[in-house]
Amino acid sequence: MTIGIAQPAARRQSSAAPAASSSSFYAALRILPAQQREAMYQVYGFCRAVDDIADRDGSRAERQTELTQWRRDLADLYQGRDIPEHLAALAPVVRRYGLEQPDFDAIIDGMLMDAERDIRAPDWATLDLYCDRVASAVGRLSVRIFGVPPEQARPLAHHLGRALQLTNILRDLDEDAAIGRLYLPREALVAAGITDTEPQAAVTHPNIGRACAPLVARAREHFQQAARIMDSCRRAAVRSPRLMASVYADILERIERQGFAAPRRRVSLGKVRLLFNVLRHGVF
């Protein structure tokens, strides 16, 4: 369940543009200059491919083996050995923007957390590690492509990645529960009086809103920290992350306004609101 890339995607495609077009992130990428946009498509394509493996039905052992092979393929790319065909388009992006192998490896580590077992009520520390791997690591790659200065890049990736991922978790409670996953932290559940960590039982509990409240507060704080960092950056370097933040902050606000009582409706912005955000951050 990575940021905006949990939908099914064609594996190992040469261009990520078709996969990216299925999510709100496509709008954030489209406002980039052409070279940066194509670079982000390649990073996005990598993320979608490994995420698809982690979320696929079937043998866990097979999924873990496939993800391990992707890690070996990345090592070949960085060590200058024969580059696998499915990473050929990513290789020049890695060189041009100085993308670091540990960030790609962290994304695979996050996918392995989902592939090895269904995550159910992790503690806060494990949830934060998961968010770092599946979201902030993507951010660390992205800010290099956006051209965010080094002193601001890593803190921005840290805060915005976590804000987006926590929002995803709150938005996708029912979808995750349907496949046996529960990302809400154990401490928040217990504090709300929810002791059953079976996903469907937990997300339909009358106190589920109390368990979600700490995630709402943390997501909001991460959005605020990210906004402060972006305010100190050159405007052109943060147009795309500002759009991502704007879209997801709106989603978080709507989730909180709707409440968490079951049955829930999955919150989305709709085309008009998304267009407003694109015009606001992409044009003006």
For the stretch 221-259, pLDDT in tens is: 999 999 999 999 999 899 989 988 988 999 999 999 999
Output the six-digit token pair for 267: 């919150």
pLDDT score for 220:
98
pLDDT score for 12:
32
Output the six-digit token pair for 274: 């998304």
For the stretch 85-104, pLDDT in tens is: 899 999 999 999 999 999 99
CATH number at residue 241: 1.10.600.10
pTM of the model: 0.88
Residue 151 belongs to some domain of the structure: yes
pLDDT score for 204:
97
Radius of gyration of the chain (CA): 18
pLDDT (average), residues 201-214: 98
Q: Tell me, what amino acid is at 184?
A: L
Count how many domains the chain has: 1
Residue 126 belongs to some domain of the structure: yes
Cis peptide before 263 (omega within 30 of 0): yes
Between the CA of residue 53 and those of 68, 72, 94, 186, what are the distances in Å? 11, 16, 22, 27
Considering the chain, what is the average pLDDT of its residues?
87
Residue 229 belongs to some domain of the structure: yes
Of 19-28, 143-152, 154-163, the poorest mean pLDDT is in: 19-28
Residue 3 belongs to some domain of the structure: no
pLDDT tier for residue 28 given thresholds of 50, 70 and 90: confident
Is residue 274 scored above 70 in pLDDT?
no
Give the distance, in angstroms, between the CA of residue 146 and the centroid of all CA atoms in the same chain.
Answer: 17
* Three-class DSSP category at 108: helix
Residue 12 belongs to some domain of the structure: no
Residue 264 belongs to some domain of the structure: yes
For the stretch 186-204, pLDDT in tens is: 999 999 999 999 999 999 9
Q: How far apart are CA 164 and CA 134, in angstroms?
A: 11
pLDDT score for 267:
83
pLDDT score for 10:
31
pLDDT tier for residue 273 given thresholds of 50, 70 and 90: low
Residue 217 belongs to some domain of the structure: yes
Residue 21 belongs to some domain of the structure: yes
Q: What is the dihedral of CA 8, 103, 78, 116, to 10 degrees?
A: -50
pLDDT score for 80:
87
Of residues 148 and 32, more confidently modeled: 148
Is residue 177 scored above 90 in pLDDT?
yes
pLDDT (average), residues 272-283: 50
For the stretch 260-270, pLDDT in tens is: 998 888 887 65
For the stretch 110-141, pLDDT in tens is: 999 999 999 999 999 999 999 999 999 999 99
Quote the domain boundaries for residue 202. Answer: 17-283
